[in-house]
Amino acid sequence: MKKIILPMVAVVLMTACSDENATANLVNAPVATSSSFDANLVANSSSDAVPPTEISSSTDVLPGISSSSEASLPASSNSIDVPVASSSSVASSSGSQFTYAVPPLTAIDPSKEYTFYGAELTGLEQFKYGRFEARMKMAALSGTVSSMFLNYDKSWMKEDEPWNEIDIEILGKAPDKWQSNIITREAEPSIKKNTSSEIIHPFAFDATKEFHLYAIIWTPEYVAWEIDSVEVRRDTLGMSRSTHADADQVKFLTEEESLRFNLWASKTPSWTGKFTGVGLPIEQQIDYVRVYSYDAATKGFTMLWQDDFDGEDIDPQRWTVGNWEMENVTYRSENIVVQNGVCRIIMDYEAN
Instruction: From residue 202, give the alpha-carbon distance in Å to each of 9, 144, 179, 199, 231.
Output: 31, 18, 9, 10, 13
pLDDT over 50 (residue 254) = yes
Q: Binning pLDDT at 50, 70 and 90, where does residue 160 land?
A: confident
User: pTM (2 decimals)?
Assistant: 0.74
Q: For 146-160, 274-288, 316-330, which range has the lowest pLDDT when averaged over its residues?
A: 146-160
Q: Which residues contact 219 (CB under 8 A, 6 or more apart)?
A: 129, 294, 299
Q: Binning pLDDT at 50, 70 and 90, where does residue 37 land?
A: very low
What average pLDDT does this structure show over 280-290? 98
Q: What is the pLDDT of residue 243?
A: 72
Q: For 156-165, 222-231, 256-265, which range has the lowest pLDDT when averaged over its residues?
A: 156-165
* Distance (Å, whole) CA 186 – CA 193: 10
**% of the chain with per-residue pLDDT over 70:** 69
What average pLDDT does this structure show over 101-111? 93
Q: What is the pLDDT of residue 156?
A: 67
* Distance (Å, whole) CA 332 – CA 11: 7
pLDDT over 80 (residue 288) = yes
**More confident of the two residues 223 and 241:** 223
What average pLDDT does this structure show over 191-209? 90
Q: What is the pLDDT of residue 146?
A: 98
| Longest Cα–Cα distance in the chain | 65
User: Among 165, 231, 257, 283, which one carries the catalytic annotation?
Assistant: 165
Q: What is the pLDDT of residue 342?
A: 97
What average pLDDT does this structure show over 67-79? 35
Cβ burial, residue 86 (10 Å; 0-12/13-18/19+)? middle
String of DSSP letters for 200-254: EEE-SS-TTTS-EEEEEEE-SSEEEEEETTEEEEEEETT----SSTTSSHHHH--
Q: Which residues contact 108 (CB under 8 A, 6 or more apart)?
A: 114, 276, 277, 278
Q: What is the mean pLDDT of the chain?
A: 78
Closest CA to 163 of 134, 197, 138: 197
| Contact by Cβ (8 Å): 136, 227 | no
What average pLDDT does this structure show over 214-242? 95
Q: What per-residue string of b and e applies to 111-142 under the rule 16 or more CB within 10 Å gives b?
A: eeebebbbbbbbbeeebebbbbbbbbbbbbbb
Residue 186 among the catalytic residues: no
Q: What is the pLDDT of residue 257?
A: 95
pLDDT over 90 (residue 289) = yes
Q: For 33-42, 199-208, 275-284, which range has the lowest pLDDT when averaged over its residues?
A: 33-42
What average pLDDT does this structure show over 91-108? 69
Pairing verdict, β 329-331 and 114-123: parallel
Q: What is the pLDDT of residue 268?
A: 97
What average pLDDT does this structure show over 132-142? 98
**DSSP state for residue 36 in the 8-state scheme:** H
What average pLDDT does this structure show over 221-232? 98
Instruction: From residue 184, give the alpha-carbon distance in Å to each of 93, 198, 250, 318.
Output: 37, 12, 9, 26
**Torsion (CA) 10, 13, 15, 20 in degrees, nearest 10:** 30
What average pLDDT does this structure show over 258-271? 97
**More confident of the two residues 223 and 75:** 223
pLDDT over 70 (residue 89) = no
- Phi, psi (deg, nearest 5) at residue 93: -90, -165
Closest CA to 89 of 211, 177, 188: 211
Q: Binning pLDDT at 50, 70 and 90, where does residue 185 land?
A: confident
Cβ burial, residue 177 (10 Å; 0-12/13-18/19+)? middle
* Positive or negative torsion for Cα 122, 203, 34, 78: positive
* Distance (Å, whole) CA 348 – CA 352: 13
Cβ burial, residue 153 (10 Å; 0-12/13-18/19+)? middle
String of DSSP letters for 63-93: TT-BSSTT----TT-SS---PPB--TTS-SS
* Distance (Å, whole) CA 39 – CA 255: 35
String of DSSP letters for 325-352: EEBTEEE-GGGEEEETTEEEEEEEEEE-
Q: For 39-43, 100-104, 216-220, which range has the lowest pLDDT when averaged over its residues?
A: 39-43
Q: Residue 270: enclosing H or E segment and its boundaries? A: helix 269-272
Residue 169 among the catalytic residues: yes
User: Among 133, 169, 198, 257, which one carries the catalytic annotation?
Assistant: 169
Q: What is the pLDDT of residue 191?
A: 73
What average pLDDT does this structure show over 229-240? 95
